[in-house]
Structure 1
Amino acid sequence: MTLIDGRCDDRFGGVREALARSLERDDVGASAAVYLDGEAVVDLWGGHADEARTRPWERDTIVNVWSTTKTMTALCALILADRGELELSAPVARYWPEFAAAGKERVTVAHLLSHTAGLPSWEKPLPTEALYDWEAATSALAAQAPAWEPGTESGYHAFTQGYLVGEVIRRVTGASVGTFFAEQVAGPLGADFHIGLAPEHDHRVAPVIPAPMPTGEGPAMAAARTLLRHYGNPAFGPETANTTAWRRAEVPAAGGHGNARSVAAVQSVLACGGEARGVRLLSEAGCEAVLREQSRGRDRCLGVPLAFGMGYGLNGAETPISPNPRTCFWGGWGGSVVVVDLDARMTVAYTMNRMLGGTLGDDRGIGIVLAAYAALSS
């Protein structure tokens, strides 16, 4: 049996078993966490932090979690909305006047959060370095016309959502999204999650291990072609996350570094009515905003049926992630995932270094989530 470290309440022993199976079959290194009523009932890790399996995955190992980062950026926007500093139904141009160009004067903040703004990628060819140049990335989006009528359907904004929401946060607060998150969210909660990683943390990073390139025809090849068609500008690959430039930059849709504990610790605030472990970041009403459905249907970029609320995917027939209706979620390229259940007051997170599958996760994280729900119903 694979060695698993950490702690796990007896009731949630199935989560430990699910993580052990994953490490034996598919994972190199990974972590899993479950928070219930704001407290950790599962905090586990195991395997190795490097592909050569020479360095163990430690308690403080962190990894790039790709689009699970989006839940952190969205939470910042929800906090500002709850404080009355940001109106989700307001035009983006109220806060970012330049954004009104090219027919976007009626695009709202909610459109940005729900991937319905019509700006899923950059039309203007950009070098990879533009991902690390905030002004270049945001000004190009401000000048761009929507690819479809905003608000009518979703088209996953894989990278652009972070710059769009992040610039609104910067215009409202005067702080970058990484700074706002560190000072207003991660700091008060004591959570080891970073949007823009300082050099002193580099030694703790488990480099991402890219999934094998698909061969032949099939779902994996189709997913790869979809990624290239919609998100090939700027050019990038999984190995981009292992560069110093990526770690230092604030890439608020895909560049966050953390582990399952830190992901679940932050999102437990949302699951628990805005307060966890004595720290209140939102009101209960502010938390409910995440569940306001903004779109439902086949996503024009990912090609699968999805429902989006305010910055998170919503539980439903399209994506039955939970038995409880008031549940939201999202995951990262290659497998990381977080599920936030406002009914059960439970948050489940899984992070890993070995990427598999496409943009919507795989059986490893789902196995952790299913085991957590099985414990709840036992």
Structure 2
Amino acid sequence: MSLSRRAVIGGGLAAGTTLLTPLGLPVAASADDFDKPFTGFAPPSTVLREGTPASVGLDPAPIEVAKSQVRSHQVAAPGGKPLYPGHVGLMAHDGVVVATQVDGFALRYKNATEELPRDQWVPMRRDTIFDLASVSKLFTSIAVVQLIEEGRVELEAAVASYLPEFAAAGKESVTIRHLLTHTSGFTSWLPLYSKWPDRASRIAAVMNQPLTNPVGTVYLYSDLNLITLGVLVERLRGQSLDGVVASRLTGPLGMSDTGYNPSERDRTAATEYQSVPARGMVRGEVHDENAWSLGGVAGHAGVFSTADDLAILAQALLNGGTYRGARILDRKSVALLITNFNEDFPGDDHGLGFELNQTWYMDALSGHRTAGHTGYTGTSLVIDFASRSFAILLTNRVHPSRSWGSINVARQQWAGGLGRALPITPRGSHVAWETQSRHATNAVLSVPLALPASGARLGFDLVAETEETDVLRVESTSDGTTWTLVPLDIRHPGDTREGAEDGSVSGTPGERRWTQVRAELDGGTTAVRWRYTTDGNTLGRGVSVSRVRVVGQGGPVVDSDDSTATFAASGWTLTRRS
């Protein structure tokens, strides 16, 4: 553990320092705050252990809220259906598993509409094995990057140089990188299971498929990309994909409950009741029809795992590719996994196989160095390298039917709970206000003023980590009725960036450091406010404001550390470090 970041677990701040949660409860102080992101990997010796949020300086309150929210989705709203029968969730920070939750049922229904008798429901367990669906793509991607690391594959080489048959239908220029970043031009999906009779013809159909878009011109998520890479791994290794993953990834890491075609069917979470194809209640075999038709082993789907096994994988990546002395990738290869190769496609940030900075399921953990993936069956993995944290949520949301709805709200809540548990600490001994996590609201922090004709200068510290459609507006008024934007000068300490804003700030995922904001207030101003407006879609971490000062020609007019009571806050929470 790096003594430069934390001398001891829960330590690292000056003696006598106390961090208060929004409820005013003390928690263990930590240097690993949301606003102090790490830049490198965790020590390779880091091994997961059980602990509490407070033991590593996290606020337990947002985690408890997330637990309650995720549990609530197992209960149907009046006239509706539950989002999923059950779930297993796990959160970890800095090598410590700070939260787990196991609730609901791994098996509840006998068909698409009818429940089993109550005594036949199977409760979820912490070691329940889930069909990961598209989270499987990460395993294939790691297997490909291992080949790149060994020099057997080049990232920018044509796929056809390794799979000559792939050149069919004008795909000669598609590279390994295009497949890993979903910029190949491939269509999203083909009905392999129903249109072709056997594995050989199904693989041939992928190899012969023409591109829907010119290579490298669009981002289009496609199972065909990873099916192709699975074939490439098998061809170059001379071994089936499941064998490669077992011998080079899950085996070395000790992920004993992870693999394809699980043998312990009774430990698996049921997925969907399928009538077409006529599979009945799917349990213990892959849900994805194409992967099923390929024998349960495919580059895009087929991996089964548990929350604890995925935690090992996540920590191994945070450690730079190693866990308990077993190395699956070197540090440079892990860095490639989380390097955004899709800068030409804003909003579709993508490393090698890993999605990056996707607020729609990463929520308050989103950032430029946040990687993960989701699975159609109701699974998600979010790994935040900036805070050395990860959130795993495994559900059986397609049990008994895929038509019962999306679980993105639960994914957001689980990852968001961990993100909001990371404290934002004011620089120095100052108070701060932080927006509360609420959709479709106006959160307003205001302070009254009585400025002379000469006006005054406003200064404050700001952390703004928001999505594009959630906007902070700094506004002033001279009559208490009409509010106008205050132009802002935003400075980023430690680098040369400066920005002049019109008075609004938004679309800043990954901005985890305090910035300095300066502005001129007109004479006659009677109040200034910070108004944060959120929509009903997703949430970032939000906004924190500290060290507010208004200084006129005669000296200080407002100092937030000395005049907290003069501020009015709705939707903001006051925190204090002393």
TM over 0.5: yes
How far has the Cα of 1:204 moved from its partner?
A: 0.8
Aligned residues of 2:271 and 2:282 also touching (Cα < 8 A): yes
Q: Does 1:313 align with 2:355?
A: yes
Residue in structure 2 matched with residue 171 of structure 1 by the alignment: 235
Output aligned runs, 1:215-294, within 5 Å: 242=283, 244=285, 249-294=296-341
Contact 1:73 1:166 in 2 (8 A): yes
Structural RMSD (CA): 3.3
**What amino acid sits opposite 1:330 in the alignment?**
H
1:93 corresponds to 2:160: yes
RCO higher in structure (CA 8 A, sep ≥6): 1
Is 1:24 matched with 2:72? yes
Which 10-residue stretch deviates more, 8-17 or 306-315? 8-17
Residue 147 (str. 1) matches residue 212 (str. 2): yes
**1:32-43 maps to which residues of 2 (within 5 A)?**
32-38=89-95, 40-43=97-100
Q: Deviation at 1:39?
A: 5.1
What secondary structure is seen at the aligned counterpart in 2 of 1:377?
Answer: coil
The aligned counterpart of 1:333 is 376
Identity of aligned residues (%): 26
CA distance in 2, matches of 1:369, 1:245: 26
| Cα 1:364–1:88 shift into 2, 3 Å | same
Number of the residue aligned with 1:205: 268
Q: Which moved more, 1:108-117 or 1:37-46?
A: 37-46
1:255/1:188 CA distance change after superposition, 3 Å:
same
1:39-90 deviations in Å (ceiling 9; x for gaps):
5443432221112462111222112122122122212222222232222211
Instruction: Tell me the distance in 1 between the aligned counterparts of 2:63 and 2:403.
Output: 21
Q: In 2, are the aligned partners of 1:46 and 1:56 still within 8 Å (CA)? A: yes
Residue 227 of structure 1 is matched in structure 2 by none
Shift of the 288–318 alpha-carbon distance from structure 1 to 2, 3 Å rule, reads same
Tell me, what secondary structure is at the counterpart of 2:252?
helix
The C-alpha deviation readout for 1:121-179, integer Å capped at 9, x for no partner, is 466x6444859x5433321111121111111111111x323311101111221122221
Classify 1:19/1:252 alpha carbon distance in 2 versus 1 (closer, same or farther; 3 Å): farther
**In 2 relative to 1, CA 315–122 (structure 1 residues): closer, same or farther, beyond 3 Å?**
closer
Separation in 2, partners of 1:244, 1:320? 28
Pick closer, same or farther for the CA change 1:240–1:110 going to 2, 3 Å: farther
* Alignment partner of 1:81 is 2:148: yes
Change (3 A) 1:357 1:329: farther
State the secondary structure of the residue aligned to 1:49: strand
Q: Which amino acid aligns with 1:373?
A: G
Consecutive unaligned residues of structure 1, counting only runs of 5 or more, are 1-5, 211-234, 300-304
Contact 2:361 2:412 in 1 (8 A): no
Per-residue CA shift, 1:96-134, capped at 9, x if unaligned?
1111122111111111111111223466x6444859x54
Q: 1:110, 1:138 → 2: CA distance? A: 20
SS for the counterpart of 2:169 is: helix
Q: Which amino acid aligns with 2:371?
A: C
Counterpart residue number, 2:254: 190
Aligned length: 341
Alpha carbons 2:361, 2:409 under 8 Å: kept: no
Aligned to 2:107: 50
Matching residue's letter, 2:414? I
